[in-house]
Structure 1
Amino acid sequence: MKLFRCDNCGNSIYFENRSCLKCGLRLGFVCEEISLHAMQPDANHADRWRRVDQQQFVYRFCPNAAFDVCNWLVRDDSDETFCTACRYNGLVPNAKSREGLRRWRAISDAQRHLFYSFLRWDLPRPSRKEDPIGGLRFDLKDDKINPDGSCQPVLIGHDEGHIVIRTAEADDPTREQQRAMMNEPYRTLLGHFRHETGHFIWNKMVRDAGKTESFRAVFGDESVDYDEALKHHYARGPRPGWGSSYISYYATTHPWEDFAECFAHVLHIIDSLETAHMFGIALAPMSHDFLAAHANFDPYSVLDFERIAEVWIPLSLALNTIHHSMGERDLYPFILTPVIKGKLAYVHSLLTRQI
């Protein structure tokens, strides 16, 4: 994640900021430039805004800005009502409820982090309006309360681009309970978004792009019965030694899940490395040739995943150790073996259009 500077006063501003803490100007995210900018009201149009640093375009804030859920901008000449992230939402939490609004804000923060990566790599993202059968749609669903007062939890999942996110997982106790119950070392809202959209990306960039043979060479045959594989996973679990070939326990379930988990981890790694670089954090020595080619290190532009891994592995070890010093569990509780790095490299090559 990049760091930004206020166009008005030069103060450092962050992706989540709604206003500059120094000069107080309102901030808006311009998707076309993947950048956060200081905004000022347009003198000629009510509820319209212009950038402080240039006056070429007129913008509207996403309607969800009225709930302090979003600060992304829409060009005023666009036919779209909602911003690049929010336009994919179907069901959303009840904004009239304090709990619903709190959950929606937390979920939206994660969703916009997801779309930052989608924008950086210009990943396919047709909406249901553009692709009624396989387009992307998010339903942010509340648990169902039965007549007897019991709770029927929503299942997080995907179906041909239709992704369901359980709003209750915006509550830390609920999410932590699920993490412990599922014996997962890592469980976050952002992780859910990245994993579930991994299935969507598989549809668009592997299946629909005619790349199933190269996929099978790395991940195995996805034509094996998914429901049976899922039953086997929960009944018996994976074979011993699975950690040498799979990034997570859940990745062992089926090649689709393996791919989705690897897609999520590529996004985890690249976005975290960009953030670390913006703060001047670097632990791994880089070769002279690599430094010459990437003087302003941007992990989104690096094509060799082995180079990414060389930087990420020592950084993740350091971050884990820092967490231990604070009495916390590992920040990144995963091991990148040669086989796992090969799978991540395949996904990375796919996203960077090398295959």
Structure 2
Amino acid sequence: MRPLFESMSARLQDLWKRGQAPAASRASRCVCGRPVFFDNSLCLNCGRPLGYEPRLGRVLALQPGPQPGTWQPAAELPEGEPRPLYRRCGNFDSAAGCNWLVEDAQALCRSCRLNRVIPDLSLPENQVLWGRIEAAKRRLVSQLIGLGLPVRTRLGEDPARGLAFDLLRALPGGPPVMTGHADGIITLNAEEADPAYRERTREHLQEPYRTVLGHLRHEVGHYYWDRLVAHTPWLEPFRRTFGDERQDYAAALRRHYEQGAPADWQSRHVSAYASAHPWEDWAETWAHYLHMVDTLDTALSFGLDADSVEPSHAPYTPETLQQPADATTAGFLSFVNAWMELTCVLNELSRSMGQPDFYPFVLSAPAVDKLHFVHRVVTQYRDHPGPD
């Protein structure tokens, strides 16, 4: 059995150079040697406490610190290196079950500090929904940090350009909660964390895929369009690639829901909804980019095994892209071609379990070019961060 991602790793090495790869690896080990995972707060093998360290991007085995309620890494450190002192996030014992660690004087971790409103926790069902939402949000935030993107809360850290979440559930008989983004505030209908509600909505809208994490990645894409594209040199290239966002947004969405997507949407977009308006095209493409990066990073982290991986399509080449000579092209094509190989296997595994395809989408050449645009924007910010 040869490593499934041996060839992928070779092709990805130009993209994920040391110090540039997303720091949120999903594979860690306890000091006892057993693997531990992103959401774990306790090693099931040896019983040692665990916590996720967002700055380092990994789960640490812990030992009690010098003061009550403090923790330090249990692993041996190089001689002379100071041992960090942590506390658990204030939501550790809440329905959120947050396993993140805090180094500063804040009560909450970097993910939980982003919340502006949460559901009414006096209702037990809201506690369940909130816990599911927070698990997805932690995965999102860890990836954004790893990609080097600005992640600052609007509540105190960056009131003008920061990010915040309103996690709302409609009152009985009250108006519905609309998931969306406005001026740095992401609103999520907490009902989306109810699998029955989400599946009914998915079928009603004839969507192939609908998850809480997908919602969060899509809506945060709108936020980063405002931060990284609007009022920057990227705006005109965006319009050439995605279209002119100045067209009437409300009218475009109304037309989409009344008439549906164009018959040829698959030839130009990552999803049917992406065809509604250039802003939605960007947000859908952004969400797919985050899906792809996190899934490949996870797979590479765990080193899955298989005999071979044969792609079901011809690899994408520089001729696919509007900017074939861009410095990011070779690494991006390695990345996207590795993704296509991986999803061939994962889709077959899903079918073997009688489940829908893991990735039920087909990437046309124009959609891949749009993914390259997102990659270029993220890469430029990571390498040359703007003012926060």
Q: What TM-score comes out, normalization by structure 1 length?
A: 0.89
Question: How far does the alpha carbon of each residue in 1:323-353 deviate from its partner, in whole angstroms, 9 at most, with x for none?
Answer: 2222211111100111110000110111111
1:347 to 349, 371, 374: 374
Question: How far does the alpha carbon of each residue in 1:195-225 deviate from its partner, in whole angstroms, 9 at most, with x for none?
Answer: 0000011111111433201111111111111
Question: How far does the alpha carbon of each residue in 1:250-271 deviate from its partner, in whole angstroms, 9 at most, with x for none?
Answer: 1011111100001100110111
* Conservation of the 8 A alpha-carbon contact between 2:310 and 2:341: no
Q: Does 1:304 align with 2:328?
A: no
Task: List, as ranges, runs of 4+ consecutive aligned residues in structure 1 with deviation greater than 4 Å.
Answer: 282-286
Q: Which runs of 5+ in 1 are unaligned?
A: 287-300
Distance in 1 of aligned mates of 2:188 and 2:369: 30
Give matches, 1:76-155, under 5 Å. Answer: 78-128=104-154, 129-146=156-173, 152-155=175-178
Partner in structure 1 of residue 276 of structure 2: 253
CA, structure 1 residues 210+125, in 2 after alignment: closer, same or farther (shift >3 Å)? Answer: farther
Distance in 2 of aligned mates of 1:118 and 1:302: 22
Distance in 2 of aligned mates of 1:138 and 1:5: 32
* Conservation of the 8 A alpha-carbon contact between 2:166 and 2:185: yes
Give matches, 1:217-232, under 5 Å. Answer: 217-232=240-255
Q: Which moved more, 1:206-215 or 1:125-134?
A: 125-134
Q: Percent identity?
A: 39
Q: Which moved more, 1:276-285 or 1:199-208?
A: 276-285
SS in 1 for 2:144: helix
Offset of residue 239 of structure 1: 2.2
1:274 to 297, 306, 309: 297
Q: Does 1:242 align with 2:265?
A: yes
Offset of residue 98 of structure 1: 2.4
SS in 1 for 2:92: helix
CA, structure 1 residues 87+10, in 2 after alignment: closer, same or farther (shift >3 Å)? Answer: same
Distance in 2 of aligned mates of 1:303 and 1:51: 38
Partner in structure 2 of residue 293 of structure 1: none
Q: Does 1:45 align with 2:67?
A: yes
Distance in 2 of aligned mates of 1:224 and 1:103: 36
* Conservation of the 8 A alpha-carbon contact between 1:134 and 1:161: yes
Task: Name which structure has the greater RCO, CA cutoff 8 Å, separation 6+.
Answer: 2
Give matches, 1:24-63, under 5 Å. Answer: 24-42=47-65, 44-53=66-75, 54=77, 56-63=83-90
Q: Does 1:334 align with 2:361?
A: yes
Q: Does 1:2 align with 2:52?
A: no
SS in 1 for 2:84: coil
Equivalent residue letter for 2:113? R
Partner in structure 1 of residue 97 of structure 2: 69
Q: Does 1:171 align with 2:194?
A: yes
Partner in structure 2 of residue 13 of structure 1: 36
CA, structure 1 residues 328+220, in 2 after alignment: closer, same or farther (shift >3 Å)? Answer: same
Q: What TM-score comes out, normalization by structure 2 length?
A: 0.81
Q: CA RMSD in A?
A: 2.0
CA, structure 1 residues 246+302, in 2 after alignment: closer, same or farther (shift >3 Å)? Answer: closer
Equivalent residue letter for 1:3? A
Partner in structure 2 of residue 213 of structure 1: 236
Distance in 1 of aligned mates of 2:218 and 2:196: 21
Question: How far does the alpha carbon of each residue in 1:130-155 deviate from its partner, in whole angstroms, 9 at most, with x for none?
Answer: 33243201011012212xxxx64311
Q: Which runs of 5+ in 2 are unaligned?
A: 1-24, 312-327
Question: How far does the alpha carbon of each residue in 1:93-151 deviate from its partner, in whole angstroms, 9 at most, with x for none?
Answer: 233432122111111110011012111111012321233243201011012212xxxx6
Distance in 2 of aligned mates of 1:10 and 1:302: 38
* Conservation of the 8 A alpha-carbon contact between 1:191 and 1:264: yes
Q: Does 1:181 align with 2:207?
A: no
Equivalent residue letter for 2:341? P
* Conservation of the 8 A alpha-carbon contact between 1:3 and 1:12: yes
* Conservation of the 8 A alpha-carbon contact between 1:284 and 1:310: no
